[in-house]
A = this chain, B = another copy of it.
Amino acid sequence: MNAIESLVGEFARLPGIGRKTAQRLTYHLLKASRDDARRLARAVERVAAEVKLCGACGNLSDLDPCEYCADPRRDRLQVCVVEEASDIPAIEKSGNYGGLYHVLGGRLSPLDGVGPDDLNLRGLVTRVGDGVREIIIATNPSVEGEATATYLHRLLGASSDVTVTRLARGLPVGGDLEYADGVTIAEAFSGRREM
């Protein structure tokens, strides 16, 4: 296969990128300076070579322990449990959370054959034993995410020293009540707070 077709093929394997977009990206790289293309190649290569799982929390990082686990200013008594490492930047951007993280690497999904043994749970149980005060469960508000949260609550809630919390569900800020789905509105009602 020639170089152009081969790159179109590789781009088209990425999620959400069809053949036409893959072609557009390839020709863009050819029209842009070759240095741009080389820089992209090096960045991809570097990610493949350097990024690993943080031994403490399961985050993806080029450091082990990762930047959050290694940061002495972060609150070691709070651990926020997320499904994927890619959830962390979204939480960091919200600018409100200063504790540590724990990445499960997925969510319970019997239909896809994902059970408790496929998740990064052992480390979490150990951390709870190490004196963590609060586990904030931030799995996705989906069926599988809820099932995972319930499972974690049962698993960790048995330890009397730790408080297990779950992110609030309700109307998204900037959303429109008219277009919100019934389940979200019901959650927003049951979770309503005094003003």
Contact = CB atoms under 8 A, between A and B. Distances in A.
A3 interface: yes
Given A3-B46, A44-B41, A85 B30 contact: yes
How many copies make up the complex? 2
Given A28-B14, A85-B30, A4 B37 contact: no
A7 B47 contact: yes
A-side interface size class? 35 or more
A23 interface: yes
Interface string A104-127: 000000000000000000000000
Interface of A: 2-4, 6-7, 9-11, 13-17, 21, 23-31, 34, 36-48, 50-51, 60-63, 67, 84-86, 89
